[in-house]
Structure 1
């Protein structure tokens, strides 16, 4: 009987050790939380920095329940929202659409711009604004260029915007999720010699 209890205890300790090893804390300048085999689990905090370089929590998101627990408000949120199917109007929302992980996570995609050779040859620089709808399930669609600079930059901005995964938290008006039109500005600037 003692050998049986001893074997059960050993098995429990091995299981506990494997579980502890499978989950580990991951902390960077921009985020902090638990990883389980490279997958985010549990509550994660995402950070931003104030003008005085103070680190602040901008989002707290539970990856296990897929629920936003906190976001740091930053001004008034006015968007084109879909009040009825196909009927859009400019309106303030109580919570903007949020990319999970905040601006640093979004920058992972937006910094992958490839400067079009045609724009380089013609010395085209500036900002392209891409618009897309973020629906009530956090999916993006209907990508289009609002502000154009040409030279292939518009197409590149659209390409990059379409690579952003559907990891959006929908906007809210009151307690209801609403579809909104989100605007993303991408900057094309040539390196100075």
Structure 2
């Protein structure tokens, strides 16, 4: 019996030594949770948002190892300018909107990089700049342009920030087909009240 127990222990030890140690580390924040391996997201991550009733909910589940969207929380239906044929665009509803991996909270991390232009501050210019850009069928962005302007250097700053957003988009779908759409991103410039 002792030799049998000894052999089982040796076998288990060999198995443990043969399996490389996992370098994965759990990550949790207010807006996301998942596994990191050498500072890279791996496996399925959950991304969170807050409803209008202040309830924290899962807005996305994304498998970073397979580069696949598993789940997204449907949002209000929005019409997008969609490429229906090469070079032919039409405003229409899509079956799945374009999604930034990580949800609005992840997208907001980039939009907080806005720097209020001195010219706009001096002239007391405030307002919302709307930037439009194409998200193609592969989730890549291009064609950034100002759709709504407030001037005072705010338009250029909003355009600069929009261009820094990485190509971590999941394309819109019509049926099961990914389609290019024009995404509209609103960036707000508001002076602090004294």
Gaps of 5+ in 1: none
Q: Any residues of structure 2 matched to 1:69-84 within 5 Å, and which?
A: 69-84=70-85
- 1:136 shift after superposition: 0.3
Task: State the partner residue of 1:13.
Answer: 16
**Cα distance change, pair 15–56 in 1 and its aligned pair in 2 (3 A):** farther
Gaps of 5+ in 2: 1-5
Q: Any residues of structure 2 matched to 1:1-193 within 5 Å, and which?
A: 6=10, 10=13, 12-13=15-16, 16=19, 18-19=21-22, 22-193=23-194
SS in 1 for 2:159: helix
- 1:143 shift after superposition: 0.2
More deviation, 31-40/177-186: 31-40
- 1:13 shift after superposition: 3.2
The separation in 2 between residues aligned to 1:53 and 1:25, in whole angstroms, is 26
Cα shift readout 1:88-118 (whole Å, capped 9, x = no counterpart):
1011100000000000000110010001111
Compare CA radii of gyration and give the structure with the larger one: 2
Q: What CA RMSD, in Å, does the superposition of the two structures yield over aligned residues?
A: 1.8
1:93 touches 1:171 (CA, 8 Å); kept in 2? Answer: yes
Cα shift readout 1:139-190 (whole Å, capped 9, x = no counterpart):
0100000000000000000000000000000000000000000000000011
Total equivalences in the alignment: 188
The TM-score, its normalising length taken from structure 1, stands at 0.92
**Cα distance change, pair 121–14 in 1 and its aligned pair in 2 (3 A):** farther
Cα shift readout 1:1-34 (whole Å, capped 9, x = no counterpart):
x89x94x855653565731xx1011111111111
The TM-score, its normalising length taken from structure 2, stands at 0.91
Query: Where does structure 1 differ by over 3 angstroms across 4 or more consecutive aligned residues?
Result: 8-17
1:77 touches 1:95 (CA, 8 Å); kept in 2? Answer: no
